[in-house]
Chains A and B, each alone.
Chain A
Amino acid sequence: MSRIKNKFQDLRSKNQKALIAYVMAGFPSEKGTISAVRGLTKGGADIIELGMPFSDPLADGPVIQNAGFQALQKGMNFEKFLAIVKKIRKETDIPLVLMTYTNLLYRHGYEKFISIVKSVGIDGLILPDMPIDESGDFLKAARKYKMDTIFLISPNTSSERIKKIASTSSGFLYLVSVFGTTGGQQQFQNYTTHAIKNAKKILVGKIPLGVGFGVSNPDQAKFIIKSGADAIIVGSAFLRLMENTTVEKIEGKIEHFTKSLKKATISE
């Protein structure tokens, strides 16, 4: 069984929801990423998403754009990404999901890319610019290497299409909570609750539903979970926390914030 599937089963038995945390590999530095991951695991994150920066991140808002830009400026590349994953894997068995853009896979060749990242310990892939309609070759390679494929749905995705996307996904299904790019959201509107409830109804428990984009504090996390999500996904809020922090302080700060979010996933 995959690490991700295992994790969700484990949480279900404990009557908990999942906290999925996103950090950008190489931001604010390679060391900083490792420290952040330590803070996340200590704070109780359940799954970690590692971003690999792409020059043209068109689904991302300013915070992740900036993190990716800085990581690239400091020389982040595929080899360094693999080195970071290897280091993380020496310390923890937490499920790791790679989030990046399709071109980086296409350029290496789907199969080559997937086999390499799988071999260092990546469990799943999220590609925000890869809809199921274009996923033929990608899926073939992912299945061959038992890589989980986490596709996205959106509040305007039709019920029929949600079914199709869910049956193409493994690990969990990623609901984009709002119309917009990644990043802070002041307040969720009714359509988000509606989208979560609708998706849950369609999925009938076949695959966990993660909800992300704009979840940035414990209150929002609670709200999303109360609406029915199996996991909350938090990204930009972690990066913002790291923006003005020295490397030495990253671990502690992240651990503290992670704990406050994790609390929201445990029912009282």
Chain B
Amino acid sequence: MKLKYPKNGKFGEFGGRYIPETLVPAVEELEQAYLKYKDDADFKKELHYYLTQYAGRPTPLYFAENLTKIAGGAKIYLKREDLLHGGAHKINNTLGQGLLAKRMKKKRIIAETGAGQHGVATAMACSALGLDGEVYMGYKDTQRQKLNVFRMNLLGSKVHPVKEGTQTLKDAINEAIRDWITNVKTTYYLLGSAVGPHPYPVMVRDFQSVIGNEILTQMKKLEKKSPDSVIACVGGGSNAIGTFYPLIDENTKMFGIEAGGEGVKSGHHSATLVGGSKGILHGMLTYLLQDKEGQISETHSISAGLDYPGVGPEHSYLKDAKRVKYDAVNDKEAVEAFLLLSKHEGIIPALESSHAIAYAVKMAKNMPKSESIVVTLSGRGDKDVEEVGRYLNKNVKNKK
């Protein structure tokens, strides 16, 4: 089941390269560079240096004792990606790709961002590695994640608000791809999740696999076995595939949690794997949220980072192979988990990660105390406090 390197760029039937011809030489050049450097000793050493000295790896695996007591079942551990520099797992990927871009002699870096976390992580990597960053961000997202726009500017990257389409992550990707087509010779597209044309999904997975590898080592020390279950939130799916992939051959149950928005039945959600169908978007064949004619649907989630109508192709493969169970948590449950973890563990989680926390609490209740769950806490929630405030305000008003 573990697909080390996708054959013809495909995970089963998923993935591939559905891209304009202008980009074909660019992704081929990228794949060659990636294959050349991924096992190169110097490259690995330099990446290791930045991950440890700059980003703060390894991250702790924290036993959430209070949360465990509240749930009253299995032990809950938190993989603390929120403690990384920048506040999310995204930096694992941006440092890796940034170093690769440097070796490819591309100085101009473009990226898309939803919540702004990948944009911030890109801006940081560019600043640290001496590259020029430009970030596309849906206009709607620039409004609900203002703090991150400010941070990107401080870090020396330029932010381009995207007013096309739904003005969220998918439109930011469209615009980044258009830029890439126009400036293909000079520009490196630093994609932020395990999505897009081959080799991005496998490359981003490999850079994020540091999460799962550390979990495995840490659990063997703490519990003398691999985790019984792991849970991660799924937007494009990078923190989740980084968590899952190293554990695929272990005896570990895996859960990928998507954004249920106002409920999967309401139609206002971003639960691609739970409620979607197969299609082609952003260079890949994967599960999508679309109408019966193939027009991409508008999505909804309280968390900008999960508000995306597609998902990484390897997740589509793992869903159909039934190796991972994908489920949805709605806005309300996510906000409750956000408040719960803040109050009882002193950790403010990103709204994205709050989806995984909510699911973990539900699940732990029905598991024996001898078992353990690892939740990947993909990011911290400072960026979300305003949004949560707005949500609570609105809902209190609605109740009156």
Interface membership of A130, Cβ < 8 A:
yes
In the complex, the answer to whether A179 meets B181 with C-beta atoms within 8 Å is: yes
The answer to whether B181 and A59 have CB atoms under 8 Å apart is: yes
What are the residues of chain B within 8 A of A158 when measuring CB–CB? 25
Q: Which residues of A contact B282 (CB under 8 A)?
A: 56, 58
Chain A contacts of B95 at CB under 8 A?
Answer: none
Kindly state whether residue B182 has any CB partner on chain A within 8 Å: yes
Report yes or no: B24 in contact with A157, Cβ–Cβ below 8 A: yes
Which residues of the partner chain A approach B178 to less than 8 Å between Cβ atoms? 58-59, 61, 181
Chain A's interface size range is 35 or more
Report whether B170 and A56 are in contact in the complex, using a CB–CB cutoff of 8 Å: yes
Number of interface residues of B (CB under 8 A): 36
| Contact A179–B20 (Cβ < 8 Å) | no
Which candidate, A5-13, A102-110, A242-250, is the interface stretch facing chain B? A102-110
**A134-B18, A181-B182 known; A129 vs B293 contact (CB < 8 Å):** no
Does A154 lie at the interface of the complex (its beta carbon under 8 Å from any beta carbon of B)? yes
* B40 close to A (CB within 8 Å): no
A128 and B20 form a contact (CB under 8 A):
yes
B153 within 8 A of partner (CB): no
Interface of B is mostly: mixed
B177 at the interface (CB under 8 A from A): yes
CB-based contact A106/B280 at 8 Å: yes
| A54 interface contact, C-beta 8 A | yes
Interface residues of A in 26-84 (CB under 8 A from B): 54-59, 61, 65, 69, 72, 77-78
In the bound complex, how far is the Cα of B178 from the Cα of A78, in angstroms? Answer: 26
Which residues of chain A have C-beta atoms less than 8 A from B177's C-beta? 58
B182-A129 in contact (CB<8A): no
Q: Taking A179-B22, A179-B182 as contacts, is the C-beta distance between A107 and B17 under 8 angstroms? A: no
- Given A156-B184, A181-B181, answer yes or no on A129-B19 (Cβ-Cβ < 8 Å): yes
Across chains A and B, which 3 residue pairs bring their CB atoms closest together, nearest first? A107-B294, A154-B22, A104-B294
Name 26 A/B residue pairs within 8 A (Cβ), A-sorted.
Answer: A54-B294, A54-B295, A55-B165, A56-B165, A56-B281, A58-B178, A58-B282, A106-B278, A106-B294, A107-B279, A108-B294, A128-B20, A129-B18, A129-B280, A131-B19, A131-B24, A134-B16, A134-B18, A151-B21, A152-B20, A156-B185, A157-B21, A179-B181, A179-B184, A181-B181, A181-B182
